A = this chain, B = another copy of it.
Amino acid sequence: MQDRLEDVKAQVQAALEEAMANLPSGELADAMRYACIGGKRIRAFLAMESARLFGLRDRESLPVAAAVEALHAYSLVHDDLPSMDNDDLRRGLPTVHVQWSEATAILAGDALQSLAFGLLTDPQIGAAETRLALIRGFSEAVGGRGMVWGQALDIAAETAMEPLDIVAIKRLQGAKTGALIQFAATAGAVMAGEDPGPLAEYARNLGLAFQIQDDILDVTGDEAETGKRTRKDDAANKATFVSLLGLEGAQDKARKLVRAAESALEPYGEDAGNLRQLARFVIERDA
């Protein structure tokens, strides 16, 4: 899996650079490119590996993978803003608003969102109706009932009188990180016109496991390893899977979710080996 992840990383980085090659030079273009550097590229991997399950080639799924990563990059830039999570470190580098300014960070995020939608019009992806189905799903995964809504719930939770319970946290994370992960993991099925059900089930379990591991790393992780600030949740008195389930309870829950994610892949047999390994990687990672 590690080789394939490196391969995906290199392909996505090249695709994003190409998509931004002709931007007018200046701070905006610089900030957009900077925001797209690095990252684990798990969403891109999900898109390209789910496509491979259905016999699709990388050149068909690559624009989708690049779109998902451009979108993810925009969301991180905006989430890091002072009026949101107020983070100064991301992927081991100063966040965009620290490196440039809040205005540039807002604009770079905005431009990355429209770049992401533009990437999904790429004819390489396939039939026009397929691309439109992806764009419609992307819009749903991002907007007022997807990722952005999840971030709004997260911000609201910080000032709420009562900490969230486990049901509310699952709903929040299902929107904030789950929707885009699910979009990426089911993209191949949508492109092939096959049932996205098993991959959606895989993604729901994987997304939650991923978030639980993030909460665990916020407690146990090292800033030099994770490339972002840690111990933030506790300082913000924020309800997390760790605060609600305890460290061991959270680890146990994450392991169960990974097993459920692996089970969901049964219809694909050996072909889904990389996706299975990714599920295990998600809870073994230390960054």
Residues on A facing B (Cβ under 8 Å): 20, 22-24, 26-29, 32, 74, 78, 81, 83-84, 101-104, 106-107, 109-111, 113-115, 117-118, 120-121, 127-129, 131-132, 135-136, 138-140, 142-146, 148-149, 151-153, 155-156
Tell me the interface secondary structure of chain A in the complex.
helix
B101 and A152 contact, CB distance less than 8 A = no
In the complex, what residue of chain B is closest to A116 when comparing beta carbons? B139
B111 and A113 contact, CB distance less than 8 A = no
> How many whole Å from A177's CB to the nearest CB in chain B?
15
B106 and A145 contact, CB distance less than 8 A = no
Partner of A143, one of B83, B111, B127: B111
Partner of A83, one of B29, B103, B118, B120: B103
How many copies make up the complex? 2
> How many whole Å from A16's CB to the nearest CB in chain B?
12
Task: List, in ascending order, chain B residues with CB within 8 A of A149's CB.
Answer: 23-24, 26, 28, 111
Task: List, in ascending order, chain B residues with CB within 8 A of A148's CB.
Answer: 28, 107, 110-111, 114
Choose among A115, A117, A135, A149 the residue with the greatest number of B CB atoms under 10 Å from its CB: A117
